[in-house]
Chain A
């Protein structure tokens, strides 16, 4: 009996320690954003007693964060649109139709998962240049979409496959075309899958700094994580402003996560967890 209690206590302790280790740095991040830079030398952990909201103001105007944020939204949003449209179509076909090339095409798409964009960065650079898509959001969107599609198609095809096949026949008997079958009947049923694909794809795209570093040259095109690297160089010794910048960059996802944590968890581990 005592053993059971102790072990339950032990597991709770593990989780509490883990929570502290996770939350303390995050708290430090938020707290520091509100402090005055010079106050750090004396006490790094002091609570921000009178919050210096002007740190955020400085980040917004001086740090050009408004522009970075806008660009990140455009790039991530645009990528999601492309990914969802392509994955919906491909997942539908691969999940519900048997034809000779099905397995091959499916395999082809899946091996895409093994190829990281980083290794192919130079040909991608030269290719985008040739297509006149360098320093453009469109080029970046297409590269991101291509990287996210294998997993997205995998997930969507799984969802489509799980829908009862009678639906198809019923719809066809009613006179629906294949296209209507997809858009009117089946797509609404795989919305949870689309949500998972959206989260699974959007997070790494929003968080990425490397592809924008290589593909976006003009300052007005930069995304938020890329802008953060420039920002860090400029404000490296002004910790208050620096932390405000880090906080602003991290906040959108944190807020979304706290609201939709279950979906996030399901989404981000979708590729790895069976069922």
Chain B
């Protein structure tokens, strides 16, 4: 419906209807986002903005004491992305395929699979923290009872196991999401193709590899991009379980946690560094933006039209 064909009155209504959404987004998302990027170029005393600082904050990010924290946090985010991508996607696909093959009880299993996704990260975090308690927690008690004493580690407290444990908890909480998306993707495949292939004598394995997997490309795209964004903005779970310092000893530190620390100060002293924090924010934003854009572009090419 072309707008120019409408009367003036009607055009006013159109503006009225469009304005609230645009206004809210502008005031509470766009302006703050642009402002945050600008903060990186100023000097800061606590929450008071000082004079122009050029690229000084970016430089400081790569100096003592921020550089080591930054590199370690970045390393963690990269590792987490790789781990989550591999684990969540493969398990998600496996579960989706299993659901797809099932005739009876699909609804029950689908409901159960997706259940953890609706839990708050606070509930998930605290729940698992208690379960993984090295002394009184059920997980270690079971491991001990089964006789594997050496495996009853302090999962969340040891620098070597803390991050993998967080990835596991994240997996528990999120795997239902790719599973459901893949399931929708599988359901969207034209059944006739599958039937035709079966009649032609193809095995299920061949059907999966040659037909289903390529046709799941759009789902893969979405999942990859969302996982990438989630991994590099990872905050809630590490914050709940490790605090803003990435306990133990920074083993669970992430870029977003470091950003929070720099913006609001850490436990034993309040000194915050808004300038450096904003520089970090710019960095995170660039990574996420670039990653999403590049990913979108590369993965769209893979997608096959039905």
* A–B direct contact (CB < 8 Å): yes
Q: Smallest distance from the beta carbon of B226 to chain A beta carbons, Å?
A: 7
Q: Does B213 contact A (CB under 8 A)?
A: no
> Count the A residues whose beta carbon is within 8 Å of the partner chain — how many?
95
Residues of B51-103 whose CB lies within 8 A of A? 94-95, 97-99, 101-102
Contact (Cβ within 8 A) B20 A14: no
A116 on the B face (CB < 8 A):
yes
Question: Do B120 and A112 have beta carbons less than 8 Å apart?
Answer: no
Which B residues between 190 and 210 are near A, CB-CB below 8 angstroms? 204
Residue of B29, B101, B127, B184 touching A115 (CB-CB under 8 A)? B29
Known contacts A120-B32, A177-B10; is A207 also within 8 Å of B114 by CB? no
User: Nearest residue in A to B203 (C-beta to C-beta)?
Assistant: A3
Q: Which residues of the partner chain A approach B123 to less than 8 Å between Cβ atoms? A: 29, 225, 228, 246, 249-250
Q: Mark B25-55, 1 if CB is under 8 A from A, else 0.
A: 1011111110110010000000100000000
- The docked-state distance in angstroms from the alpha carbon of A61 to that of B228 is 42
Known contacts: A119-B36, A122-B274. The answer to whether A179 contacts B22 by CB under 8 A is no
Question: Does residue B148 face the partner (Cβ distance < 8 Å to A)?
Answer: no
Interface contact A145-B39, CB-CB below 8 Å: no
- B220-234 CB contact bits vs A (8 Å, 1 = yes)? 001100100100010
A44 interfacial by beta-carbon distance below 8 Å: yes
Q: Are B98 and A11 in contact (CB under 8 A)?
A: yes
- Within 8 Å by CB of B24, from A94, A142, A182, A239, lies A142
A275 at the interface (CB under 8 A from B): yes
Among the listed B109, B126, B219, B284, which residue makes an inter-chain contact with A15, where contact means beta carbons less than 8 Å apart?
A: B109
- A48 on interface, CB distance cutoff 8 Å: no
Interface 1/0s, chain A 137-173, versus B by CB < 8 A?
Answer: 0000011011101100100000000000100100000
Q: A44-B137, A123-B39, A246-B123 are in contact. Are A168 and B233 (CB under 8 A)?
A: no
- Contact call B138/A273, Cβ cutoff below 8 A: no
Which residues in window 92-150 of B have CB below 8 A to A?
94-95, 97-99, 101-102, 107, 109-123, 126-128, 130-131, 136-138, 141-142
Contact code string A186-229 (vs B, CB < 8 Å = 1, else 0): 00000000000000000100111110001000000000010011
Name the one of B102, B256, B259 contacting A12, with C-beta atoms under 8 angstroms.
B102
Interface centre among A150, A253, A265 (most CB of B within 10 A): A265
Q: Which of B1-9, B158-166, B245-253 faces chain A?
A: B1-9
Cβ–Cβ < 8 Å partners of B137 in chain A: 44
B115 touches A22 (CB 8 A): yes
Q: In the complex, are the beta carbons of A112 and B122 less than 8 A apart?
A: no
> Is the Cβ of A86 less than 8 Å from the Cβ of B24?
yes
> In whole angstroms, how far apart are the Cα atoms of A40 and B140 in the complex?
13
CB within 8 A of A127: which of B31, B94, B118, B260? B31
In Å, the complex CA distance between A242 and B25 comes to: 38
Contact B35 A123, beta carbon cutoff 8 Å: yes
Interface pair B141/A93, CB less than 8 Å apart: no
B304 within 8 A of A: no
CB distance from A213 to the nearest CB of B (A): 9
Q: Cβ of B18 and Cβ of A150 under 8 Å apart?
A: no
Say whether, besides A92-B17, A149-B24, A250 and B120 are in contact (CB < 8 Å).
Answer: yes
CA distance A108 to B39 in the complex (A): 22
User: A87-122: which residues lie under 8 A (CB-CB) from chain B?
Assistant: 87, 89-90, 92-94, 96-99, 105, 108-109, 112, 114-122
Q: What is A's interface to B at a CB cutoff of 8 Å?
A: 4, 7-8, 11-12, 14-15, 18-19, 21-23, 25-26, 28-29, 32, 40-41, 44-45, 82, 85-87, 89-90, 92-94, 96-99, 105, 108-109, 112, 114-124, 126-127, 142-143, 145-147, 149-150, 153, 165, 168, 177-179, 182, 203, 206-210, 214, 225, 228-229, 232, 239, 242-243, 246, 249-250, 253-254, 257-258, 261, 264-265, 268-269, 272-275
**Can you sample 20 A-B contacts with CB below 8 Å?**
A15-B109, A15-B113, A22-B116, A89-B21, A90-B17, A90-B22, A92-B17, A93-B17, A118-B233, A118-B235, A123-B33, A153-B21, A178-B10, A209-B121, A209-B236, A242-B126, A246-B126, A253-B118, A257-B118, A273-B185
